[in-house]
Amino acid sequence: MNKNTHYLVITVVLLFFTFTSCKKQEKNPNEEDIKNKDVEIQVETTKPNITLENLEGSPTYADASLILDTPEDIKVTEPGEMAYSFKVENYELGAQTKGSNAQDLANSGKGQHIHFILNNQPYSAHYEPSFKKEIPEGVHHLVAFLSRSFHESVKNDNSVVVRKLFVGDNPEDTFELDMKAPTLIYSRPKGEYKGTDAEQILLDFFVLNTTLSKDGHKVRATINDQEFIITEWTPKVIKGLPMGEVTIQLELLDETGVLIPGPFNKVTRKITLTH
What is the spatial distance between Cα 141 and Cα 167, in angstroms, rounded to a whole number?
11
Q: Give the domain range for residue 102.
A: 52-274
Can you tell me the distance from the alpha carbon of 114 to that of 191, in angstroms, rounded to the nearest whole number? 17
Considering the entire predicted model, what is its pTM? Answer: 0.83
Percent of the chain with pLDDT over 90: 81
Of 18-32, 76-90, 237-251, 255-269, the least confident:
18-32
The fraction of the chain above a pLDDT of 70, given in percent, is 83
Q: What is the pLDDT of residue 19?
A: 42
Q: Is residue 105 part of a domain?
A: yes
CATH classification of the domain holding 114: 2.60.40.10
Q: Is residue 177 situated within a structural domain?
A: yes
pLDDT in tens, 174-223: 998 998 999 999 999 999 999 999 999 999 999 999 999 999 999 999 99
Cα-based distances in Å from 94 to 35, 113, 118, 197, 229: 58, 6, 22, 21, 34
Structurally, how many domains does the chain consist of?
A: 1
| Angle at the Cα of 183 from the Cα atoms of 125 and 236, rounded to 5 degrees | 60
What pLDDT sits at residue 249?
98
Listed in sequence order, the residues at least 6 apart from 79 whose beta carbon sits closer than 8 Å to its beta carbon are: 135, 136, 137, 167, 168
Beta strand pairing call for 244-253 and 218-223: antiparallel
Q: Which has more pLDDT, 59 or 21?
A: 59
